[in-house]
Structure 1
Amino acid sequence: MRVSSAANRHWWDGNADDYQVEHGEFLGDSTFIWGPEGLDEASAGLLGEVKDRDVLEIGCGAAQCGRWLVSQGARVAAFDISHRQLRHSQRIDLDSGLTVPVVQADAEELPFSAGSFDLVCSAYGAMPFVADPAAVLAEVRRVLRPGGRFVFSTSHPIRWAFPDDPGPRGLTSDRSYFDRTPYAERDGSRVTYIEHHHTLGDWIALIVASGLRMEGLVEPEWPEGHTGVWGGWSPLRGHHLPGTAIFICGAQP
């Protein structure tokens, strides 16, 4: 298994329980939240019509987004690299009565046939963590039907130039936006967690090179009255810096 995949599979398996305890209420059991700002697909409509569509969720975690899609009449498949996250998905299925078929898989090698889906989506799933986003985009293009859509959210690239701190320290840049050295945590020589950085220009170039069309970019503003803190995301930083980038991509008809 690739270094990035192995590290992040291990990290998420070890931290899934704490993650769901800390963020489960904010995410809901069957709500499609695009990021820490709280932008909800029910109001944003970035995917377009989902009823009677075949939809794939990449990096689903506990499949909260996929469960909302099921509630709207979509036919959903979902996957995550973390077995422990998928156990939480099964737990919420039982509690909510809404079931999402899930499988453990790596986003760089999708276990689905070509042309299987009308829509592919990912809310902070996989894209910040994969070493080869071009491989993921090529796989998405392969499984999308002509005229389909891929929408994904990830940490806004400008955040890379600032400390991951929700307080005043997080407002002063301390590194180059153009430094693409991955952020890695280690236990001795073993990588235990890793994130990869791509500029906005990098992402657009990767999307176009994959054969997808770049159709839109959404940078959610921090809403008034939202007082929550999620890692480096906070009201203080959110009113000054974009925290999330949502890329809307289309497959050629």
Structure 2
Amino acid sequence: MTVHGPADHVELNRRYWDDHAAASHGPLARGHWAAAQPRWGLWATPESQASVFPEDIAGSRAIELGCGTAYVSAWLARAGAHPVGIDLSREQLATAREMQTEFGLDFPLVLGNAEQVPYDDDTFDFAISDYGASLWCDPYRWIPEAARLLAPGGQLTFTRRSPLFALCTPPDGTAATTLLRPQFGLRRLDGGGAVEFTLPHGDMIRLLRSHGFVIEDLIEVQAPESAHRNYPEVSADWAHRWPSEEIWKARLVG
């Protein structure tokens, strides 16, 4: 993977999710939609442990930024929130609508870019991205947009790959135990016809603070010893020793 600057990632990622990933969405989405409780990320961290949703989520206006098949929005709806899901992939949203019909849930699904959301300022109380905008959108575009969309006091929560994982992972390979790229300048990673984004912690903290957020928590997720599987990009053993993913929680200052 190489680092670039142009803003062509939206169309690249749209094609990737429409053309390459849609075939597996149905079975995977159904498992998430059917889950008794939310489980987060690669290592299925339970909501009872991560507390990703605020305790007062019932009745909240919520938006899922880069919703994919919208299973997080489904979990929000079951928790009593009023979610909206936005994603740039027609194929993923088609699967989400199939799941809505199958599971008897109904909430808005918007075809669009999470860096430019067609809603007014101060519309939502809670914004969330579970490997959606938090991975596939430019943080210097989607973080300001999340701040615009949230009402004062609103909460932003997102899961993403850890910077350490990005530093240790070769192009289309598995996470190694050595550093393979520099941390300074880390931002955009191209590979496999798609574009991911990862900022180092210092850059992410400064970005969030510059748009009015106070950081309430950062959970560096440890894979359990009895992890359910390995992945092509990272093994459970690696992620038990170092964080491959993390959960950020921030609140917009009123």
Q: Give TM-score, length-normalised by structure 2.
A: 0.88
Contact persistence 1:77–1:100 (CA under 8 A): yes
How far off its partner does 1:179 sit?
A: 4.6
Q: Does 1:210 align with 2:192?
A: no
The one-letter code of the counterpart of 1:158 is L
Match of 2:194 in 1: 193
Taking the TM superposition and a 5 Å limit, the aligned residue runs for 1:167-178 are 170-178=176-184
- Aligned partners of 1:52 and 1:79: how far apart in 2? 19
Q: Deviations along 1:113-135, whole A, 9 cap, x unmatched?
A: 1111111111011222223x122
- Residue 122 (structure 2) pairs with residue 121 (structure 1): no
Determine if contact 2:65/2:114 at 8 Å carries over to the other structure: yes
Matched, 1:220 2:221: yes
Q: Residues 25 and 230 from structure 1, CA distance in 2 versus in 1: closer, same or farther, beyond 3 angstroms?
A: farther
2:240 matched residue in structure 1: 239
Q: Distance in 1 between matches of 2:28 and 2:234?
A: 13
**Corresponding residue for 1:52?**
59
TM-superposed CA distance for 1:43, in Å, is 4.4
Match of 1:37 in 2: 43
Q: Is this contact kept in 2: 1:61–1:125, CA < 8 A?
A: yes
Does the 8 Å contact 2:33/2:75 carry over to 1? no
Q: Counterparts of 1:140-179 in structure 2 under 5 Å?
A: 140-163=146-169, 170-179=176-185
Letter of the structure 2 residue corresponding to residue 193 of structure 1: A
CA displacement 1:38-90 (0-9 Å, x = unmatched): 12335432321211111111111100011011111111111111111000101
Q: Which runs of 5+ in 2 are unaligned?
A: 1-5
SS state of the match for residue 136, structure 2?
coil
Q: Distance in 2 between matches of 1:76 and 1:185?
A: 32
Identity %: 26
Deviations 1:203-226 (A, max 9, x none): 111101111111110112112322
Give 1:143 shift: 1.2
- The one-letter amino acid of 2:212's match is G
Alpha-carbon contact 1:216-1:247 (below 8 Å) kept: yes
Q: Is the 8 A contact 1:166 1:229 kept in 2?
A: no
RMSD: 2.3
2: CA distance between counterparts of 1:185 and 1:223? 29
For 1:29 and 1:166, locate their aligned partners in 2 and report how far apart those are by CA, in whole Å.
31
1:61 to 52, 62, 68: 68
**Per-residue deviation, 1:20:** 2.0
Please tell me whether the aligned partners of residues 166 and 198 of structure 2 are also in contact (alpha carbons under 8 angstroms).
yes
Structure 1 residue identity aligned to 2:57: V
| Counterpart for residue 251 of structure 2 | 250
8 Å CA contact 1:29–1:67 kept in 2: the answer is: no
| Structure 1 position 252, deviation (Å) | 1.0
Q: Equivalent of 2:18, from 13, 16, 31? A: 13
1: CA distance, partners of 2:185 / 2:27: 31
**Aligned partners of 1:170 and 1:232 also within 8 Å:** no
- The whole-number CA distance in structure 1 between the counterparts of 2:213 and 2:26 is 36
Paired AA for residue 155 in structure 1: R
Number of positions where the alignment pairs a residue of Structure 1 with one of Structure 2 = 246
Shift of residue 105, structure 1, vs aligned partner: 1.1
Question: In the TM superposition, what is the alpha-carbon distance from 1:26 to its structure 2 partner?
Answer: 5.5
